[in-house]
Amino acid sequence: MHRATIATGTTIAGVVLLLALKPHHQAVPVTRPPAPEPSPSGGGAKAAAANGTYRGQSVDTEYGPVQVEITMSKGRLTAVRVLRAPSENGRDREIAAMAVPRLTREAVAAGSARIDAVSGATYTSEGYITSLQSALDRAHA
């Protein structure tokens, strides 16, 4: 009976200590810009994008900044180039190398920032999508 009491007490103390631990990084919230509102004419259409290259804002994520540059041609998104991605350590580079090409393929195929985040690369995905949307906003301004 005495062993069971000690084991239970030790388990409870261990759980409390685990719950009290804080992550080594402080979470940095990433917010997406609001969706554009429909035009006053009621058509809801966006202004046509000008041809050219547009740089998105640099978005600070928990693991480092993310920034993209887009190319527009004939009013369509034709290319996305990543200017900055998390790269502080090997794991950050590994995650970015896995996620960035996938995000880029999806963005070009969708022609917008309405793409899914890559599982396992949530912060990088959110930074990518936010930077992409800001570049698209500049292209349509």
Report the CATH number at residue 95: 3.90.1010.20
Whole-model pTM? 0.67
Catalogue the long-range contacts made by 78-82 (C-beta closer than 8 Å, 24 or more residues apart).
78/108, 79/108, 80/104, 80/107, 80/108, 80/132, 82/128
Most distant pair of Cα atoms in the chain: their distance = 78
For the segment 14-24, the average pLDDT, to the nearest whole number, is 57
39, part of any domain:
no
What is the pLDDT, as a whole number, of residue 18?
A: 57
Domain span at residue 63 reads 27-32+47-139
Return mean pLDDT, the chain: 82
Between CA 125 and CA 32, with CA 94 as vertex, the angle to 5 degrees is: 10
Placement of tokens 């969706």 in the chain: 35
8, part of any domain:
no
Q: Tell me the pLDDT tens digit for each residue of 34-53.
A: 544 444 434 444 567 789 99
Residue type, 2: H
pLDDT over 90 percentage in the chain: 62
| Structural domain count of the chain | 1
7, part of any domain:
no
18, part of any domain:
no
What is the pLDDT, as a whole number, of residue 39?
A: 41
Six-digit token string for 79? 């290319």
Question: Where does the pLDDT of residue 10 fall: very low under 50, low under 70, confident under 90, or very high at 90 and above?
Answer: confident
14, part of any domain:
no
2, part of any domain:
no
